[in-house]
Amino acid sequence: MSSEYAIRVRGLGKCYYHHARALDRLFYQLSSRPPSRSRPFWALKDLSFEIARGDTVGVIGRNGAGKSTLLEIISSTLTPT
């Protein structure tokens, strides 16, 4: 498989849910469907970029900006939403 890109991302997103109560969190974990009281938080939303083979890239940003989330999704240790 030959490609000009080492990494190509299109429309990437990851959403987490803030739960109002611990019971809501338990419900979400058991059903994988957020209860109505949960508020969505998009760590990454509609992210697109390409990294060519041989390029060097740095990921910088403030705390909570989604750097680790992005790298975990790229390395397939976390699934996108």
Tens-place pLDDT, residues 9-63 = 999 999 887 766 677 667 767 776 666 666 788 999 999 999 999 999 999 999 9
Domain for residue 31, yes or no?
yes
Confidence of residue 73 (pLDDT cuts 50, 70, 90): very high
Domain for residue 80, yes or no?
no
Domain for residue 27, yes or no?
yes
Q: Are 15 and 32 a contacting pair, CB within 8 Å? A: no
Domain for residue 79, yes or no?
no
What average pLDDT does range 51-80 have in this prediction? 92
SS3 breakdown of the chain: % helix, strand, coil, rounded to 5? 20, 35, 45
Domain for residue 47, yes or no?
yes
Domain for residue 81, yes or no?
no
Domain for residue 42, yes or no?
yes
For tokens 């490609």, what's the residue?
Answer: 3
Look up residue 28 and give its two tokens: 């979400």
- What is this structure's pTM? 0.70
Q: Supply the pLDDT for residue 36.
A: 62
Please give the helix or strand (H or E) that residue 15 lies within, else none.
strand 5-18
Q: Supply the pLDDT for residue 17.
A: 75
Domain that includes residue 52, residue range: 5-74
- Give the number of domains in the chain: 1
